[in-house]
C-alpha cells in the first residue's frame, strides 16, 4: 500500500511538471475590439499573439463572444512568435471575449479579454499616432499605425479615422488597402453588411447533374435485367446472379462517380467597387451540393472573407479559417445533400477599373466575362448595354449626382470557391456596381 501511494504521488508530480512545462513552452496573449471598443452586430477584430519557446505550436484558436464562435488553424515553429488576426460578429455581446488555444495534443490555454461595449449610435473616432502616449482631444481611442486592422471589418465600429501626421505612412500593404476600402465605403455611404443579392435562389437544388445521370442509368439497367427475367422460366440461378452483379457494379460506379464529380454551387451575388480604389466588397448567397458521401471542406482563396452556414439548410457545417487565412466550411454530408451558405468578401474582386485617359473618365471591364444589362449615369452613352472583356465606356463630362453608379450583370462569380476533395463548379449571376462619386475627368 505504501509503495502504491508513493507511485501515485510521483505520477501526480510528473503530470504537474509536464503541465507547467507546456504552459511555459507556449505563451499566448490577446487583444479584442478596435482599440478595445466593440459594438453589438458589428465586426470586432481579435489579435492573438502566440509565442512558441521550446515546442512547435499546431492546433486551433477558438474565439467566443456571446453566442458567436470563430476558429482559426494555427502553426508556429519554435522558437518564434506569430500574430493572428481574427474577426467576430455577434448580436449577443458580452464585455469580454474568451480566447482558447487548443493544441493538436489536446492541451488548452485560455485567456479572457475585456472589451468596452459602445452603444450602436455612439460615434467612435479613431486617432492614429505613433508618438508614445500621444492622444488628441476628441479621440475615442488612439492607435499606433502598426496596430491598425488588416481588414476593413476591423473598422466596422468606427465613424472617423484621424491621422496625427502624414496619412498612410509605415503601413503594410494589407493595412493600407483595408483602410482605403473602408474610407471609400464611408465616402459612398455604403454599408457592406447590408448588401443583398437581388435575384432569388431556388429553394432546393438537388442533386448535381452527373449524379442524376448515373443514378438514372443505374436504375434503368437494373429494371431491364429484372424485366428480362420475368420472361425467362429457367430454374437456373444464374439470372439472379446477374441481378446481384449489376446492382453491385452499379453501386460502385455511382459512388465512384460521386467521388470524382464536381461540387455544384448555385449562387447570386453582389460586388461593389469604389472609384479608383483597388479593392471591392461582395456578398454571395449560395446552395452547394455534395457529390459524394464524406467530408466537405469548402473554402475561399486569396481574399479577406467570412463563410457562414445557413441554419435554415439544416446542415451542421463548422465555420473556421484555415492555416492560410482562407474562410472555410467543414463537415460530413451524405450523397447529394444540399447546404445553404453566404459569403462576405473583400479584396481585389470585381470586374471594373476606373481611370482617366486623355481628359475622359473611363470605366473598363478587366474581367474575363462580358458585362451585360448595363446602366450608366448621365454623361455616358446610355444606349450601350454591354461591355466586352478589355473594352470600356467613357465620358468627357463631369459625373454628378449624390451617388452616380455604373451597374452591370455578369455570369462570373465575384469570389471563387474550392473544395479539398472535389472540383467546384459555380453557376449563377452577379450584379456588379462601381461608385463614381467624386470621379471627374482630369
Question: pLDDT (tens digit, 9 = 90+) per residue, 24-79?
Answer: 557 899 999 999 999 999 999 999 999 998 889 999 999 999 999 999 999 999 99
Under the banding of pLDDT at 50, 70 and 90, the label for residue 274 is very high
Q: Which secondary structure element, helix H or strand E, spans residue 25, and what is its range?
A: helix 2-25
Question: pLDDT (tens digit, 9 = 90+) per residue, 133-159?
Answer: 555 678 999 999 999 999 999 999 999
Instruction: Read off the pTM.
Output: 0.79
Q: Is the distance from CB of 209 to CB of 291 less than 8 angstroms?
A: no
Q: Give the phi and the psi of residue 419 in degrees, each rounded to 5.
A: -130, 145
Integer Cα distance of 210 and 265 in angstroms: 14
Q: 231: burial class by Cβ within 10 Å (0-12, 13-18, 19+)? A: exposed
Any idea what DSSP says for residue 146?
G
Residue-level pLDDT at 203: 45
Residue-level pLDDT at 389: 97
> In degrees, to the nearest 5, what angle opens at C-alpha 252 toward C-alphas 249 and 257?
120
* DSSP secondary structure letters along 93-123: --SEEEEEEEETTS-EEEEEEE-EEPPTT--
* DSSP secondary structure letters along 383-428: T---B-TT-EEEESSPP-SSS-EEEEEESS-SS-EEESSS-EEEEE
Residues 6+ apart with CB under 8 A from 410: 351, 367, 369, 370, 371, 372, 429, 430, 432
State the residue for C-alpha cell 454599408: 191
Residues 6+ apart with CB under 8 A from 25: 52, 53, 54, 55, 78
Grid cell listed for 155: 473598422
Any idea what DSSP says for residue 257?
H
Any idea what DSSP says for residue 193?
G
Q: 131: burial class by Cβ within 10 Å (0-12, 13-18, 19+)? A: exposed
Closest residue by Cα to residue 348 from 238, 298, 399, 274? 274
Residue-level pLDDT at 18: 42
SS3 call for 159: coil
> How many other CB atoms are found less than 10 A from the CB of residue 287?
21
CATH of 24-117, one of 3.40.30.160, 2.60.40.10, 3.90.1150.10, 2.40.50.100: 2.60.40.10
Give the distance from CA 200 to its chain's centroid: 21
- The strand ranges marked E within 164-303 are 263-274, 280-289, 294-300
Q: Is the distance from CB of 302 to CB of 327 less than 8 angstroms?
A: no
Q: 22: burial class by Cβ within 10 Å (0-12, 13-18, 19+)? A: middle
Q: Is the distance from CB of 434 to CB of 354 less than 8 angstroms?
A: yes
Question: pLDDT (tens digit, 9 = 90+) per residue, 393-440?
Answer: 999 888 887 889 999 999 999 999 999 899 999 999 999 999 997 555
Residue-level pLDDT at 7: 47
Integer Cα distance of 282 and 345 in angstroms: 5
Residue-level pLDDT at 20: 40
Residue-level pLDDT at 15: 41
Provide, rounded to the nearest whole percent, the portion of the chain with pLDDT above 90: 57
Integer Cα distance of 50 and 60 in angstroms: 11
Q: What is the dihedral of CA 216, 220, 223, 228, to 10 degrees?
A: -170
Residues 6+ apart with CB under 8 A from 388: 365, 370, 371
Say if residue 213's pLDDT is above 70: no
State the chain's mean pLDDT as an integer: 82
Residues 6+ apart with CB under 8 A from 398: 379, 440, 441
Provide, rounded to the nearest whole percent, the portion of the chain with pLDDT above 70: 74
Any idea what DSSP says for residue 380?
B
Amino acid at each position: 500500500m505504501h509503495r502504491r501511494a508513493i507511485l501515485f504521488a510521483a505520477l501526480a508530480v510528473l503530470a504537474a511538471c509536464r503541465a507547467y512545462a507546456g504552459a511555459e513552452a507556449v505563451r499566448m496573449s490577446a487583444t479584442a475590439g478596435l482599440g478595445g471598443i466593440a459594438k453589438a452586430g458589428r465586426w470586432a477584430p481579435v489579435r492573438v499573439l502566440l509565442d512558441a519557446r521550446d515546442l512547435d505550436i499546431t492546433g486551433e484558436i477558438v474565439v467566443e463572444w456571446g453566442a458567436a464562435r470563430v476558429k482559426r488553424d494555427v502553426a508556429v515553429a519554435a522558437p518564434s512568435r506569430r500574430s493572428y488576426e481574427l474577426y467576430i460578429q455577434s448580436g449577443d455581446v458580452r464585455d469580454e471575449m474568451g480566447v482558447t488555444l487548443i493544441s493538436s495534443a489536446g492541451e488548452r490555454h485560455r485567456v479572457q479579454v475585456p472589451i468596452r461595449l459602445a452603444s450602436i449610435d455612439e460615434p467612435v473616432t479613431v486617432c492614429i499616432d505613433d508618438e508614445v502616449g500621444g492622444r488628441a482631444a476628441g479621440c475615442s481611442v488612439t492607435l499606433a499605425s502598426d496596430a491598425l486592422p488588416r481588414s476593413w471589418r476591423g473598422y466596422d465600429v468606427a465613424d472617423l479615422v484621424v491621422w496625427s501626421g502624414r496619412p498612410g505612412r509605415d503601413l503594410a500593404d494589407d493595412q493600407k488597402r483595408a483602410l482605403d476600402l473602408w474610407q471609400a465605403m464611408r465616402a459612398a455611404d455604403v454599408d457592406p453588411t447590408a448588401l443583398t443579392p437581388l435575384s432569388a435562389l431556388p429553394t432546393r437544388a438537388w442533386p448535381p447533374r452527373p449524379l442524376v445521370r448515373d443514378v438514372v442509368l443505374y436504375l434503368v439497367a437494373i429494371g431491364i435485367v429484372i424485366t428480362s427475367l420475368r420472361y425467362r422460366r429457367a430454374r437456373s440461378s444464374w439470372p439472379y446472379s446477374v441481378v446481384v452483379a449489376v446492382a453491385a457494379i452499379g453501386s460502385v460506379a455511382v459512388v465512384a462517380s460521386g467521388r470524382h464529380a464536381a461540387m455544384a454551387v448555385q449562387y447570386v451575388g453582389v460586388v461593389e467597387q469604389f472609384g479608383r480604389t483597388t479593392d471591392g466588397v461582395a456578398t454571395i448567397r449560395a446552395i452547394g451540393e455534395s457529390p459524394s458521401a464524406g467530408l466537405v471542406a469548402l473554402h475561399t482563396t486569396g481574399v479577406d472573407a467570412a463563410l457562414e452556414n445557413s441554419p435554415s439548410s439544416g446542415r451542421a457545417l463548422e465555420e473556421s479559417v484555415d492555416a492560410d487565412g482562407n474562410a472555410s466550411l467543414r463537415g460530413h454530408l451524405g450523397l447529394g445533400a444540399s447546404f445553404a451558405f453566404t459569403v462576405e468578401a473583400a479584396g481585389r474582386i470585381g470586374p471594373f477599373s476606373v481611370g482617366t485617359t486623355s481628359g475622359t473618365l473611363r470605366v473598363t471591364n478587366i474581367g474575363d466575362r462580358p458585362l451585360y444589362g448595363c446602366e450608366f449615369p448621365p454623361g455616358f452613352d446610355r444606349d450601350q448595354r454591354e461591355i466586352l472583356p478589355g473594352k470600356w465606356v467613357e465620358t468627357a463630362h463631369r459625373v454628378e449626382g449624390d451617388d452616380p453608379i455604373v451597374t452591370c450583370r455578369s455570369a462570373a462569380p465575384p469570389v471563387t470557391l474550392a473544395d479539398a476533395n472535389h472540383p467546384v463548379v459555380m453557376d449563377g449571376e452577379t450584379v456588379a456596381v462601381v461608385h463614381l462619386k467624386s470621379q471627374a475627368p482630369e
